[in-house]
């Protein structure tokens, strides 16, 4: 049920928007931006208000930062390779597409609101693929790519949507690590998209 | 950037209020609802953009390539973290 709620409903909402546009409904001027600000405010409330979050991070010491940092740097490195190998993909496209770390709603909307709907659509699809690949492949990843595998793949989603898969296949010991990594990556998304957009205008 | 400002504001207020129980549930429901509304707006944006509709096939292919390499890089980084720190 959760899986349907988390994956099917967002797609339906997106599809309904496309359908409405095809029927002639015009985009709401700055409507997305206002809801977006509300959304990130809620993300902040949720993350900042997590009970015992600072204590949990202190317990894990500096090690906890290595996993989300690895996701950020590893994703960027992979994106750079993709841009080098495929002439149709620019470095900017590749880096912005990757910088959602699976958080498709946030990253796609941020990019679309920058006035780049084509790239926003690509980020949406790419990050959905990342989430679905993690959900579908967590078992294999945990087995062949160390217990960190599903956490690295899950990226920002490893705090909620893919956390059950991590718990199941990497083991419950990895759940706190997964949660904190996903949380830090969720916060990192708007910063990374702003940073990449600034460096590669 | 406005978006980052709202994020930091939320973080600070959330941290001050230490939300648990019912308020937390309400926030998560509001979060889910606002994601749906946002995606609807995004569908509106994208559906009325001729470029997106024309390039839909290419968008999917590029997205798959980027996802694949994002995962590859992340796994490589995961291996390094595992070898250096976790596997003692």
Three-point CA angle A46, A52, A55, nearest 5°: 130
Do B41 and B13 have their domain in common? yes
Do B71 and B42 have their domain in common? no
- Find the domain containing B71 and state its range: 55-88
Indicate yes or no: CB of A75 within 8 angstroms of CB of B70.
yes
Do B37 and B72 have their domain in common? no
This complex has an ipTM of 0.84
Indicate yes or no: CB of A152 within 8 angstroms of CB of B75.
yes
pLDDT at residue A60 tops 80: no
Minimum-distance CB partner of A43 among B16, B31, B74? B31
Do B30 and B73 have their domain in common? no
Do B41 and B63 have their domain in common? no
Indicate yes or no: CB of B85 within 8 angstroms of CB of A63.
yes
pLDDT digits (tens, 9 = 90+) for B36-86: 888 788 788 778 877 777 888 889 999 999 999 999 999 999 999 998 876
Indicate yes or no: CB of A28 within 8 angstroms of CB of B9.
no
Report CA-CA distances (Å) from A195 to A95, A188, B4, B9, B62.
10, 10, 12, 20, 22
Do B6 and B47 have their domain in common? yes
Domain count for chain B? 2
Report CA-CA distances (Å) from A137 to A25, A129, A140, B33.
39, 11, 5, 28
Q: How far is A1 from chain B (nearest CA, A)?
A: 14
Do B42 and B68 have their domain in common? no
Do B4 and B40 have their domain in common? yes
The mean pLDDT of chain A is 88
């Amino acid at each position: 049920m959760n899986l349907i709620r988390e994956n099917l409903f967002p797609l339906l909402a997106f599809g309904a928007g496309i359908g409405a546009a095809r029927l002639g409904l015009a985009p709401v001027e700055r409507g997305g931006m206002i809801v977006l600000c509300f959304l990130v405010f809620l993300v902040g409330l949720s993350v900042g208000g997590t009970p015992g979050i600072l204590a949990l991070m202190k317990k894990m010491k500096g090690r906890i930062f290595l996993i989300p940092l690895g996701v950020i740097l590893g994703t960027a490195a992979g994106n750079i390779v993709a841009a080098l190998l495929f002439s149709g993909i620019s470095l900017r496209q590749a880096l912005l597409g990757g910088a959602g770390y699976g958080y498709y709603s946030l990253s796609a909307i941020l990019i679309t609101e920058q006035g780049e709907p084509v790239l926003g659509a690509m980020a949406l699809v790419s990050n959905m693929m990342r989430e679905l690949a993690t959900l579908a492949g967590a078992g294999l990843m945990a087995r062949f790519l160390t217990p960190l595998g599903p956490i690295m793949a899950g990226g920002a989603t490893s705090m909620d949507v893919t956390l059950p898969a991590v718990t199941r296949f990497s083991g419950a010991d990895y759940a706190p690590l997964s949660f904190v990594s996903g949380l830090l990556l969720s916060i990192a998304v708007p910063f990374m998209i702003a940073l990449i957009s600034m460096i590669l205008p | 950037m406005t978006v980052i400002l709202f994020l930091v504001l939320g973080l600070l207020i959330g941290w001050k209020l230490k939300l648990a129980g019912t308020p937390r549930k309400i926030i998560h429901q509001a979060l889910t609802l606002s994601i749906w509304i946002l995606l609807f707006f995004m569908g509106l944006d994208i559906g009325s953009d001729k470029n997106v509709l024309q390039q839909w096939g290419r968008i999917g292919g590029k997205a798959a390539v980027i996802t694949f390499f994002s995962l590859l890089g992340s796994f490589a980084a995961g291996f390094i973290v595992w070898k250096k720190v976790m596997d003692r």
